[in-house]
Amino acid sequence: GAGVSQTPSNKVTEKGKYVELRCDPISGHTALYWYRQSLGQGPEFLIYFQGTGAADDSGLPNDRFFAVRPEGSVSTLKIQRTERGDSAVYLCASSAAGLRDEQFFGPGTRLTVL
Amino acid sequence: KQEVTQIPAALSVPEGENLVLNCSFTDSAIYNLQWFRQDPGKGLTSLLLIQSSQREQTSGRLNASLDKSSGRSTLYIAASQPGDSATYLCAVRWGNKLVFGAGTILRVKS
């Protein structure tokens, strides 16, 4: 596709459940990023992939959060034992390769934990 | 700590006015700075990217400047239109991550 896509667009789950959020980056982009945005705030960095490997996961809040990118394209953000505080919009971005490249964002997944 | 601050938090102007949005950051060792637009319930649209070696970038009615030494960037919007109403986010690239400000909510009244 022409841009970054994310599925689902909305996810409602119950406290304690497991969720997976998917990101399809722009074709050919080797760098992929996950961010989390709470209401009224700017996005906060979670994790950065260069190819298949997580180059920087320093933004993951705790070990309930995990992300993979097994083939260097699609990425999945996984959240175990969800808590109400995990409710936010999860944004994915991709860039061509290097640290100086422009990042392009997807529409986000709005996660609501009841 | 690397932080980004945006002023004002909200701005309301009549159609046709020129306006300036401000962004300040705490550490001048940046790779680049990016301005985004976000419409309600939507993702981020990239407006302008300024590399650390550049002073400004222009796209249509938008002009962004960068002063690394003072830790500041401004986004200038000329001849504002109601369609410009959105939240504008400034983001600074340090290392592997973009660090965002909280944004400026802009309303252009017709």
A91-103 pLDDT, tens per residue? 999 999 877 788 9
Among partner residues B42, B45, B97, which is closest to A45 by beta-carbon distance? B97
- Report whether B96 contacts A55 (CB < 8 A): yes
Buried b (16+ CB within 10 A) or exposed e, A10-27: ebebeeeeebebebbbbe
The full DSSP string for A89-111 is: EEEEEEESSSTTSPPEE---EEE
d(CA B57, CA A113): 41
Q: What pLDDT, in 10s, does the model give residues A19-57?
A: 999 999 999 999 999 999 999 899 999 999 999 999 899
pLDDT tier at A2, thresholds 50, 70, 90: confident
Task: State whether residue A25 sits within 8 Å of chain B by CB.
Answer: no
Which of B58 and A1 is assigned the larger pLDDT? B58
Q: How far is A71 from chain B (nearest CA, A)?
A: 21
Q: Using CB atoms, pick whichever of A58, A102, A107 lies closest to residue B46.
A: A102
Secondary structure class of B82 (helix, strand, coil): helix
CA distance B45 to chain A (A): 7
Show which of residues 16-55 on chain B sit within 8 Å of chain A, judged by CB atoms.
31-32, 34, 36, 42-46, 49, 51
Residues of A with Cβ-Cβ distance to B4 under 8 angstroms: 42
Q: Does B4 touch chain A (CB under 8 A)?
A: yes
Contact B96 A56 (CB under 8 A): yes
Q: Could you tell me which of A73, A72, A77 has the C-alpha nearest to residue A7?
A: A77
Helices (H), B1-110: none
Q: Report chain B's mean pLDDT, rounded to a whole number.
A: 96
B98, B99, B103 ranked by CB distance to A103: nearest: B98
Contact across the interface for A107 and B97, Cβ inside 8 Å = no
A vs B, Cβ pairs < 8 A, gives: 60
Instruction: Please say if the pLDDT value at position A1 is more than 90.
Output: no
